[in-house]
Amino acid sequence: MSLLRRIALFTVAAASFAAPPAFAEQTLDFILNWVPGGDHAPYYYAKKMGWYKEAGIDLNLEPGKGSAVAVQKVGAGADPIGLADMANALVLRGKGADTVGVFNVYANSPQGLYWLKSSGIKSVKDLVGKKIGNPAGDGARTIWPALAKANGIDPNSVTWVNIDANSKLAALKAHSIDATTSFYNIHHIFKRELGDDMGFVAWKDAGLNPYGNTVIVNADFLAKNKPLIAAFVKVTQKAFAACVATPKPCVQALIDANGALQFDNEMQNWELVEVLMSDKFSRTVALGYLDPERMAADYDLVKTYVGLDVPFDVKKTYTNEFLDRSIKMTK
């Protein structure tokens, strides 16, 4: 991306942010989808810069344990707002988790499958009879039936093994599992550790590309706190645009708040995040936009391949009303 393009994007983002809020400062507990990493840099940057505080928000960033857990907590009102895979939010909406997406981060599904080429696995179809390891609350498990059926295999033909996220690579190398799932924004870590023996397929290239990470809000909380959520979205949209324009200060803010992280690693993470953020709608309509036709297709996908306990109107599961249409992803 050219320097002029980065500067232009940042200028538009900064100009779009209105100043003082019309309400008193309020604490907002925000549960992440996972432990802090490069993909979360904009929230830490905006917090470091005081943008949330200026908007009347005392933001508390809570590490998560998977998208499914985040949706459950937000749906139950334990946290008013969170970050989760949108397809998981749809599945769990059918189970009573009443959440509303207000800002899309991953316009493309970040999910990927990893294995060792030396195991003989070449595609999703080769996972029949194999063991897939990941955390119990990982969103990939919820959506797995859709990927399996899209590739013509029985979803129950694999065995899921509970392992910690940090144990995935070790488990693969030890052959205690045959495959694992992970987000594309840490693809560079798998490549570094597995080298030429790394087998990989992105879910979006295997017949499944629902919306990924999205900021979700408890529906009752949203109805009662629209000005607060509007301010949160405006700051967050501004922060993501600023981080696309000038990534290094954003990643440094993440490192400052989470000392165990390594700058170079999280910088690579963020660069991959930018790939996941970009689609024709984020580039032409607004950064964070959820397209109605794609959302309808994602609902049909979940209904067909995963199943819904209770059908619902997908139009009530998201809103674009808080987005600034002048802020777009760079082309």
pLDDT digits (tens, 9 = 90+) for 171-187: 999 999 999 999 888 89
Report whether pLDDT(5) > 50: no
Please report the pLDDT score of residue 331 as a whole number: 65
Out of 3.40.190.10, 3.40.50.300, 3.40.50.2300, 3.40.720.10, select the CATH number for domain 111-205: 3.40.190.10
Residue 147: HSE in the Cβ half-sphere, 13 Å Cα cutoff: 28
User: Residue 58 has which token pair?
Assistant: 């005392």
Residues near 71 by Cβ (< 8 Å), separated by ≥ 6? 82, 84, 88, 89, 92, 97, 99, 216
CB 83 within 8 A of CB 64: yes
For residue 8, pLDDT beyond 50:
no
User: What sections of 195-314 are H helices per DSSP?
Assistant: 219-224, 226-245, 247-257, 263-277, 280-284, 292-301
Neighbours of 105 (CB within 10 A): 24
Q: Which fold has domain 3-108+210-317?
A: D-Maltodextrin-Binding Protein; domain 2 (3.40.190)
* Reported pTM: 0.84
Tally of CB atoms within 10 A around 249: 13
Is there a shared CATH topology between the 3-108+210-317 domain and the 111-205 domain? yes
Sequence spans of domains, the chain: 3-108+210-317, 111-205
pLDDT class of 203 with cuts at 50, 70, 90? very high
Do the Cβ atoms of 236 and 51 come closer than 8 Å? no
User: Worst-scoring range by mean pLDDT, 70-79, 201-210, 221-230?
Assistant: 201-210
- Name the helix (H) or strand (E) containing 277: helix 263-277
200-214, 228-242, 286-300: the lowest-pLDDT one:
200-214
Distances (CA, A) of 261 to 43, 81, 182, 257, 271: 16, 25, 18, 9, 16
Write the pLDDT tens digit of every residue in 262-281. Answer: 999 999 999 999 999 999 99
Under a CB-based contact definition with an 8 Å cutoff, are residues 261 and 280 in contact?
no
What distance in Å separates the CA atoms of residue 260 and residue 249, rounded to the nearest whole number? 17
Q: How many helices (H) and strands (E) does the chain have?
A: 14, 10
DSSP code, position 128 = T
